[in-house]
């Protein structure tokens, strides 16, 4: 089946620790995105990538980093600089940047 997978489903971070969230897609989509969702809020764009080895900051990139070494993969690292990391993180992809986005199942990050 084609789709977007995110792992793990739940992730716990200790103070001062970096953690990496995985996002993989087998849809052959060029563009991939990371969003953050907080209760009662819409989706806020963290980073996006239109093509391999290229990525751009979204609206709330501070404290996050990404890489796009393969078309299928767009991992997100939540660094210790992100002071309020507890949220639901959603990865999405689209054929190209202008096209409709399809979402993964999400990863919930909690701080211990």
Partner 1 sequence: GQQLNQSPQSMFIQEGEDVSMNCTSSSIFNTWLWYKQDPGEGPVLLIALYKAGELTSNGRLTAQFGITRKDSFLNISASIPSDVGIYFCAGRTTGANSKLTFGKGITLSVRP
Chosen residue from 40, 54, 83, 112 binding partner 1 by CB under 8 A: 40
Burial annotation 52-74 (CB, 10 A radius, 16+ → b, else e): eeebeebeebeebbbebeebbeb
Contact region with partner 1 (CB under 8 A), list: 13-21, 63-71, 75-83, 101-109: 101-109
Indicate whether 108 belongs to the interface with partner 1 (CB under 8 A): yes
Q: How far is the CB of 9 from partner 1 (least distance, A)?
A: 8
The token pair at 56 is 């751009």
- Residue 87: which of 27, 55, 41, 52 has the closest Cα? 41
Contact region with partner 1 (CB under 8 A), list: 13-21, 60-68, 74-82, 96-104: 96-104
Assess contact for 11 and 19: CB atoms under 8 A.
Answer: yes
Question: Contact residues for partner 1 (CB under 8 A)?
Answer: 4, 6, 40-43, 45, 48, 58, 90, 92, 98, 100-106, 108
């Amino acid at each position: 089946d084609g789709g977007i997978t995110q792992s793990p489903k739940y992730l716990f971070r200790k103070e001062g620790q970096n953690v990496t969230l995985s996002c993989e897609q087998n849809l052959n989509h060029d563009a991939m995105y990371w969003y953050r969702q907080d209760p009662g809020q819409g989706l806020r764009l963290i980073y996006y990538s239109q093509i391999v080895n290229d990525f751009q900051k979204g609206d709330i990139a501070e404290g996050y980093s990404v890489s796009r070494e393969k078309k299928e993969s767009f991992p997100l690292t939540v660094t210790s600089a992100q002071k309020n990391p507890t949220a639901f993180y959603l990865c999405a992809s689209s054929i190209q940047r202008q096209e409709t986005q399809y979402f993964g199942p999400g990863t919930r990050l909690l701080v211990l």
